[in-house]
Amino acid sequence: MLEKFIRLINSCTTLTSNNAKKIFAIIITHGGLHDRHIRRSRHRNTLIRASTDCKHFHLALHLYSSFFHITTSSPPDKFTFPFVLNSCAALHDTLIGRMVHKQTLGLGFNGDVYVAAALVDMYAKCGSIVTARKVFDGMCVRDLVSWTTMVSGYVHNGYNAETLEMARSMMEIGIKMNRVALLSTLLASGQLGELRIGEVFYGYAICGGFVNDTLVATAVMDMFAKCGSLDSARAVFDGVEAKDVVCWSSMIACYGVFGQGREAIGAFHRMVNEEGIRPNHVTFTSLLTACSRSGLVDEAYKFFKLMDSPNLNHYSCMVDLLSRAGKLQEAEELVNAMPIPADAALLGSLLGACLMYGNAEIGERIADRVFQLDSSHSGYYVILSNIFATKSRWSEVEGVRKLMVDRSIRKNQGFSLNRVITKIIAN
């Protein structure tokens, strides 16, 4: 019976989550995990791969652990570890990831390019970017996947300058960037405000035939907007032939970066009324953000009411909008009426507005809620202390400082960042 289900899984080009659950349930019910056939590595790999592909990451790790302890006659092979490490990455489980890493070393797979690339990806997605770089540097052979994983890992961990440096090194040795690497470099260029470097990668996108890719086009638009060139972002947008909801949402977001809420609303109406494209949650987030930065309170409320089930990002935009406009009581009422729990970032924006407008009453209530969610962030204590100071309530100021001492909270020191970007040479 087990052989039958193994063949069934292998024959499936796409395996849905529900079908996978049924297959695994039958296998486990019939004692499949202890079947003699499952001692074969390829069968175990098939089940682990199916679990990972269907996003049953905990099950994948459980299967790996079970299979590994059933017998030592057929240990995991080099095809096993990429699936297991992908599950660790998806779960952000560095602890298990490191244990699996040790097992790869013990079995002598540290030199395998696919296992090493999976390790780099796992550490990067778990936030251990330094360890990811150590694994990358220790690879004897680095292919396109390895380089792309490192470039993507850097940018998603906020190492923007290192992203560009890695991309430069990648191109210097003649490895052409793929779509993922190009998206990462465009994101890094925008985050750093490096227009010149961003234009180099835009040229690379044109020469490499990526310019017709909607995601690449939207990344270029985002880069231009963050670098202060709205006209260039609009030119790229106009050049996209098949504009989808992602492309339109990006253009609306670009208008929001420049505080051009009216233009963002105009783009939204063209998208819906002229193109017949249905907005998604990202579209509304971009639109509400644009309204917030332009002080368009009434307009934002209209769009907010159009949504069937606003998510946390939408509520955050509305709270930010009301806070910027000085409507602190309305903002607090909206927070209290939310059907989903507010996070510290949302409450923190309202707390900052209480300092701006000198509202200690609401500030105290919001601070209590913020501290329940995040009691280790020094910025919230500083804001509350400054709110009391503006009202000359010095005993409360002292109380906040004492609370910081009792909780071992230290204010982060300021620093000056002098950024040096290595020159990128492109053919």
Q: CATH number of the domain that 355 lies in? A: 1.25.40
Residue 79 lies in a domain: yes
From 224, 257, 273, the end of a domain falls on 224
- Tokens at residue 198, please? 């961003």
Residue 415 lies in a domain: yes
Query: Is the same domain home to 101 and 46?
Result: yes
Q: Which residue range(s) make up the domain with 358?
A: 331-426
CA distances from residue 422 to 82, 156, 392 in whole angstroms, order as listed:
33, 20, 49
Give the dihedral sign, CA 152/157/161/165: negative
- Helix H or strand E encompassing 33: none
Query: Is the same domain home to 85 and 121?
Result: yes
Please calculate the CA angle 287-293-294 and round it to the nearest 5 degrees: 90
d(CA 355, CA 40): 65
Residue 17 lies in a domain: no
Count Cβ atoms below 10 Å from residue 360 Cβ, excluding itself. 18
Residue 346 lies in a domain: yes
Query: Is the same domain home to 124 and 167?
Result: no
Residue 21 lies in a domain: no
Query: Is the same domain home to 134 and 147?
Result: no
Query: Is the same domain home to 107 and 176?
Result: no
The angle, 0 to 180 degrees and rounded to 10, between the axes of the packed helices 80-91 and 94-106 is 160
Instruction: Please state the domain count of the chain.
Output: 3
Q: Which amino acid is at 426?
A: A
Residue-level pLDDT, tens digit, the chain, 427 residues:
445 444 544 455 454 545 544 555 445 544 555 545 545 566 778 888 888 888 888 888 888 887 766 455 577 888 889 999 999 999 999 999 999 999 999 888 878 999 999 999 999 999 999 999 999 999 988 999 999 999 999 999 999 999 999 999 999 999 999 999 999 999 999 999 999 999 999 999 999 889 889 999 999 999 999 999 999 999 999 999 889 999 999 999 999 999 999 999 999 999 999 999 999 999 999 999 999 999 999 999 999 999 989 999 999 999 999 999 999 999 999 999 999 999 999 999 999 999 999 999 999 999 999 999 988 888 888 999 999 998 888 988 899 888 888 888 776 655 444 444 444 444 4
Query: Is the same domain home to 127 and 176?
Result: no
Residues 6+ apart with CB under 8 A from 243: 214, 237, 275, 277
- Tokens at residue 176, please? 């052409």
Query: Is the same domain home to 149 and 88?
Result: no
Give the pLDDT of residue 418. Answer: 47
Residue 324 lies in a domain: no
Alpha helices, DSSP H only, in 295-393? 297-306, 312-324, 328-337, 344-357, 360-373, 378-390
User: Are 60 and 84 a contacting pair, CB within 8 Å?
Assistant: yes
Alpha helices, DSSP H only, in 112-178? 113-125, 129-137, 144-156, 160-172
Residue 376 lies in a domain: yes
d(CA 147, CA 133): 10
Residue 205 lies in a domain: yes
User: Are 124 and 153 a contacting pair, CB within 8 Å?
Assistant: yes
Give the pLDDT of residue 68. Answer: 66
Query: Is the same domain home to 78 and 105?
Result: yes
Q: What φ, ψ does residue 372 adopt, rounded to 5°?
A: -70, -30
Query: Is the same domain home to 170 and 127?
Result: no
Query: Is the same domain home to 124 and 174?
Result: no
From 123, 139, 155, the end of a domain falls on 139
Query: Is the same domain home to 168 and 219?
Result: yes
- Helix H or strand E encompassing 247: helix 245-257
From 83, 113, 139, the end of a domain falls on 139
Query: Is the same domain home to 133 and 207?
Result: no
Full-model pTM: 0.79
Residues 6+ apart with CB under 8 A from 60: 48, 51, 52, 83, 84, 87
User: Are 130 and 94 a contacting pair, CB within 8 Å?
Assistant: no
